[in-house]
Amino acid sequence: MNEEAEGKSARLRRHLLSLLGDELAPHDRLPTERSLAEEFGASRLTVRLVLDQLEREGRVYRVQGSGTFASEPRIAKSVELTSFSEDMRARGLRPGSLAVTEERIPAGAEVGYALGISPSAEVLHVRRVRTADGEPICLEHSYLPSALVPGTLGEALRGSLYEELAGHGLALRRAEQTIRATVLDPADARELRVAAFSPAFLVQRTAYDARGRAVERALSLYRADRYSYELTIYRD
């Protein structure tokens, strides 16, 4: 690309980013390629390349024959130890839960190991579909040792699990977490209202209270189209 085209594409990109940031709501249509080309005195090719880049970054999506549209914002996740409810509220979204169930089961090898208890020790398994403004974005399994959480949590699970635990002297302080890429099996995909085998993040967390007790082992499947991880990283 020559220097002039480069200047135009940088201006066009800035313009589109500011439209996406301030003026366009998710799924609003962007101006047509032709009108952008005219407005910026750029070639259609330059406009297309700028839009291609925004599409790769997940800022816009295209519908053949109908145009380019603003994507839903991804919900950026910080590495602070936060709850789902806090994450959503920080982004101006209303957290919620659907299809909440709780059951007592033996921990099994993986959960028992993570929680530092016997595989035969009992845990409370809480399963929830987490929503943001009513839209399902995460399927969450939490396992809590029955020795620490002997009662049922009932209605409290419609709100924040972490607030409920804090109310029982189990405030969480630290967590170990791994994040891997995966795809959603058909049943999970249906609950998250996406196509079978859509990409997802699998977040595995073991969370500890201030006394160092492992309180929660959680497996969360986040829709990859609605979630991103944001880190602040430092260098000495």
Asked if 160 touches ligand GLP (CB under 6 A), the answer is: yes
For residue 106, report the phi and psi dihedrals to the nearest 5 degrees: -70, 145
Asked if 146 touches ligand GLP (CB under 6 A), the answer is: no
Looking at the Cβ atoms of 54 and 137, the one nearer to ligand GLP is 137
Q: Per CB under 6 A, which region of 11-19, 20-28, 43-51, 78-86 contacts ligand GLP?
A: 78-86
Place of tokens 């002039």: 4
Looking at the Cβ atoms of 53 and 83, the one nearer to ligand GLP is 83
Asked if 148 touches ligand GLP (CB under 6 A), the answer is: no
- Which residue among 53, 72, 74, 83 contacts ligand GLP (CB under 6 A)? 83
Whole-angstrom Cα distance, residue 197 to residue 217?
24
Looking at the Cβ atoms of 126 and 189, the one nearer to ligand GLP is 126
CB-based contacts of 158-164 (< 8 A; 24+ apart in sequence): 158/96, 158/97, 158/100, 159/85, 160/83, 160/84, 160/85, 160/86, 160/95, 161/83, 161/126, 161/216, 162/83, 162/85, 162/86, 163/83, 163/85
DSSP assigned state of 154:
G
Q: Which two tokens stand for residue 156?
A: 């409290």
Shortest distance, position 189 Cβ to ligand GLP, whole Å = 19
Asked if 9 touches ligand GLP (CB under 6 A), the answer is: no
Site residues for ligand GLP per CB under 6 A: 83-85, 95, 140, 142, 160-163, 203, 205, 216, 218, 220
